[in-house]
């Protein structure tokens, strides 16, 4: 009989893909069916994120809950970025945990399940050949890793310490993965990496790759069955002209660009070690708007980084206004172990950081209220992916806007033109035309 797996995935798209990979690996040895009910599971896995402190703090109370509810024989495993940086400490603080696997080591899941107190958190493990288990949670969209790890060492970020050095996956593997997924019905290919547009910097074995990101995008776009290509996350520093040109001119590349700003103050950017200035970011964003006026730009912003003055924060607000980001993901700075910013002493107090976050989000809401009505009566191509309640079905435009229409599941997996009748801040409602 099949075993039951309860798998909780936190954090980014890379973690979602790692979870798929673990499911695939487990099923190579014996069948595991997914369950949403931890009390009937034979195996409980938490795939963790450690980018900010809060979810890390919650981990141990969560494990405590699982211990109470689980079947006596069920095993609990902790995987992902928090596993990478806490390692052995997890066994000490939660003795019920039977294995700990770092973000770079999830390929070893079957070994972990069959060995008591299995621990592997080696961030230099070269996983580039193994990162592709055959399991997809979403039949319409295929996540594909193109690189793992990150060489950048931004002062606030723990990721390089949990996912290790950057390695690009050989393009032949990516291409065959994309071809296979597309032939099986995934019209959208979603390329993943911490720094996707630095692709080719180092392939397995340490050499420079033969292909850069723009060339990789072009290659994938030649697969007939692929209708849409997305990627996350690019780094503003690597948005050179060739990349912007390829992005703007290739109709299969979705017109949604993530440009993680982090801060609009050149001074703060410098102490964050982001490698670009405010002016440079603005110039790249303007160039993108010029070359591809239909592109929606999203961003990540951190407020309250050590040393951020009121003036620095105003710079961030101004860049937000000037670029007019269609979407922002904004966070209060959270000091993380192993990072260089954790040593900084010029801390911004929590109250100031909270009030800046609120101001930023309120100003962005005003921006959105100005932008949203423009979409009324506009016709977008929508790829339908998800059934919603009340006879609604949801999909995404090339710009990554969510669109909802009345419709049946026949629409799933199809691309249709939709005229927007009722645009709202987060969802555009419309009708198939």
Q: Which is nearer to ligand F3S, 212 or 262 (CB)?
A: 262
Give least dist CB 278 to ligand SAH, A. Answer: 16
CA distance 428 to 351: 35
Q: Which is nearer to ligand SAH, 38 or 312 (CB)?
A: 312
Size of the site for ligand SAH (CB under 6 A): 17
- Scanning residues 207 to 236, which ones bind ligand F3S (CB under 6 A)? 235
Q: Which of 83, 167, 154 is nearest to 125 (CA)?
A: 167
Q: Which is nearer to ligand F3S, 194 or 214 (CB)?
A: 194
Tell whether residue 212 is a contact of ligand SAH (CB under 6 A).
no
Helices (H), 194-277: 213-221, 241-249, 266-272
CB atoms within 10 A of CB 316: 24
- The answer to whether residues 70 and 76 touch, using CB atoms and an 8 Å cutoff, is yes
Q: Which of 198, 314, 215, 202 is nearest to 266 (CA)?
A: 314
Q: Which is nearer to ligand SAH, 132 or 333 (CB)?
A: 333
- The answer to whether residues 312 and 282 touch, using CB atoms and an 8 Å cutoff, is no
Give least dist CB 227 to ligand F3S, A. Answer: 29
CA angle 152, 153, 155 (to 5 degrees): 135
* Residue corresponding to tokens 């630095």: 198
Q: 234-273 mask for ligand F3S (x: CB under 6 A)? A: -x--------------------------------------
* Residue corresponding to tokens 């723009």: 214
Judged by CB under 6 A, the residue of 77, 102, 164, 260 near ligand SAH is 260
Radius of gyration of the chain (CA): 22
What separation in angstroms does the CA of 288 have from each of 261, 282, 363, 397?
Answer: 15, 10, 23, 19
Q: Which stretch binds ligand SAH (CB under 6 A): 214-222, 327-335, 367-375, 403-411?
A: 327-335
- The answer to whether residues 163 and 105 touch, using CB atoms and an 8 Å cutoff, is no
Q: Which of 334, 376, 362 is nearest to 156 (CA)?
A: 334
Judged by CB under 6 A, the residue of 27, 128, 194, 398 near ligand F3S is 194
- The answer to whether residues 149 and 165 touch, using CB atoms and an 8 Å cutoff, is yes
Give least dist CB 278 to ligand F3S, A. Answer: 17
Q: 225-254 mask for ligand SAH (x: CB under 6 A)? A: --------x---------------------
DSSP notation for 336-376: -TTSSGGG---PPPHHHHHHHHHHHHHHHHHHHHHHGGGGT
> What residue 160 binds from ligand F3S, ligand SAH, none (CB within 5 to 8 A, per partner kind)?
ligand F3S
Give least dist CB 155 to ligand F3S, A. Answer: 9
Q: Give the residue nearest to ligand SAH (CB).
A: 233
- Scanning residues 119 to 178, which ones bind ligand F3S (CB under 6 A)? 150, 152-154, 157, 159-160
Two tokens at 282?
A: 């603005």
Tell whether residue 313 is a contact of ligand SAH (CB under 6 A).
no
DSSP notation for 155-194: TT--HHHHH-S-EEPPHHHHHHHHHHHHHTT--EEEEE-T
Tell whether residue 195 is a contact of ligand F3S (CB under 6 A).
yes
Judged by CB under 6 A, the residue of 44, 79, 157, 259 near ligand SAH is 157
Binding site for ligand F3S (CB under 6 A): 150, 152-154, 157, 159-160, 194-195, 235
Binding site for ligand SAH (CB under 6 A): 12, 51-52, 156-157, 159, 194-195, 233, 260, 262, 300, 302, 331, 333-334, 336
């Amino acid at each position: 009989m099949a075993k039951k797996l309860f798998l909780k995935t936190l954090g980014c798209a890379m973690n979602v893909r790692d979870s798929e990979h673990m499911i695939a690996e487990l099923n190579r040895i014996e069948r595991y069916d997914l369950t949403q009910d931890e009390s009937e599971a034979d195996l409980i896995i938490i795939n963790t994120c450690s980018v900010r402190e809060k979810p890390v703090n919650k981990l141990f109370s969560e494990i405590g809950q699982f211990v109470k509810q689980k079947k006596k024989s069920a095993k609990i495993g902790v995987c992902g970025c928090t596993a990478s940086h806490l390692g052995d400490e997890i066994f000490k603080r939660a003795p019920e945990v039977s294995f700990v696997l770092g973000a770079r080591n999830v390929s070893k899941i079957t070994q972990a399940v069959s060995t008591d107190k299995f621990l592997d958190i080696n961030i230099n493990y070269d996983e580039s050949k193994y990162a592709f288990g055959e399991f997809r949670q979403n039949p319409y969209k295929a996540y594909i890793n193109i690189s793992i790890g990150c060489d950048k060492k931004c002062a606030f970020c723990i990721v390089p310490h949990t996912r290790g050095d950057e390695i690009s996956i050989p393009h032949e593997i990516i291409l065959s993965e994309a071809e296979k997924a597309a032939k099986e019905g995934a019209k959208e290919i979603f390329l993943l990496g911490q720094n996707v547009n630095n692709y080719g910097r180092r392939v397995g074995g340490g050499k420079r790759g033969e292909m850069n990101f723009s060339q990789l995008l072009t290659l994938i776009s030649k697969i007939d069955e692929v209708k849409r290509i997305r990627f996350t996350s690019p780094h503003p520093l690597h948005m050179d002209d060739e990349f912007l040109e390829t992005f703007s001119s290739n109709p299969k590349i979705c017109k949604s660009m993530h440009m993680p700003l982090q801060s609009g103050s050149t001074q703060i950017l410098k102490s964050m070690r982001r490698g670009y200035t405010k002016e440079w970011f603005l110039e790249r964003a303007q160039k993108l708007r010029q070359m591809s006026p239909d592109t929606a730009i999203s961003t990540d912003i951190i407020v309250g980084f050590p040393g951020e003055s009121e003036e620095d924060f105003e710079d961030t607000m101004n860049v937000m206004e000037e670029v007019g980001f269609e979407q922002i993901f904004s966070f209060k700075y959270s000091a993380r172990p192993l990072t260089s910013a954790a040593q900084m002493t010029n801390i911004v107090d929590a109250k100031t950081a909270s009030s800046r976050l609120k101001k930023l989000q309120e100003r962005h809401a005003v921006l959105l209220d100005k932008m949203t009505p423009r979409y009324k009566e506009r016709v977008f191509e929508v790829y339908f992916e998800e059934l919603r309640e009340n006879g609604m079905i949801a999909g995404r435009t090339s710009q990554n806007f969510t669109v909802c229409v009345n419709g049946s599941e026949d629409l799933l997996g199809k691309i249709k033109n939709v005229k927007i009748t009722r645009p709202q801040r987060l969802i555009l409602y419309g009708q198939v035309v």
